[in-house]
């Protein structure tokens, strides 16, 4: 999987938006979607640039803690336990060869996956 896809999946599965942004509980409902969307995009961009600049060696070494520390040093302001979980997901998925095949009527995506165990 590409790093972009790994990051997107990690954000989707591991980012707890209420824990990362407790202030959203006080936002008016009409501002909530745009605020969260901007934040998620910002986290995605920062993770991507951090991994490209300093993190590829940790992915190669399958070192989630090192990748997490690098991301924290790069200014990604997430709770450490959450970021570590995301880094584990990114590393795990980076070794998966997956290709999008189709989407069914319910909107579920179908992928072809090749995994080395």
Structural contact between residues 55 and 86, judged by C-beta atoms closer than 8 angstroms: no
Burial of 74 (0-12, 13-18, 19+ CB in 10 A): middle
Structural contact between residues 64 and 91, judged by C-beta atoms closer than 8 angstroms: yes
Collapsing DSSP to helix, strand or coil, 78 comes out as coil
User: Nearest Cα to 8, choosing from 38, 49, 35, 47?
Assistant: 47
Report the C-alpha gap between 1 and 54 in whole angstroms.
19
Highest mean pLDDT among 4-8, 96-100, 104-108: 4-8
Collapsing DSSP to helix, strand or coil, 84 comes out as helix
- Verdict on whether the full-model pTM lies above 0.85: no
Residue 49 corresponds to which tokens in the numbers above?
């640039």
Distance of CA 82 to the CA centre of its chain: 10
User: Nearest Cα to 46, choosing from 98, 88, 10?
Assistant: 10
**Which one has a higher pLDDT value, 81 or 99?**
81
pLDDT tens column, 38-81? 999 999 999 999 999 999 899 889 999 999 999 999 999 899 99
């Amino acid at each position: 999987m590409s790093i972009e896809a790994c990051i997107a999946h990690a954000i989707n599965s591991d980012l707890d938006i209420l824990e990362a942004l407790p202030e959203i509980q006080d936002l008016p409902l009409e501002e909530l979607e745009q605020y969260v969307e901007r934040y998620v995009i910002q986290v995605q961009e920062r993770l991507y640039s951090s991994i490209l600049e300093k993190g590829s060696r940790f992915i190669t070494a399958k070192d989630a803690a090192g990748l997490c520390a690098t991301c924290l040093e790069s200014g990604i302001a997430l709770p450490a336990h959450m970021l570590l979980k995301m880094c584990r997901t990114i590393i795990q998925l980076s070794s998966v060869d997956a290709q999008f095949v189709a989407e069914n009527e319910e909107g579920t995506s179908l992928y072809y996956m090749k995994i080395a165990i």
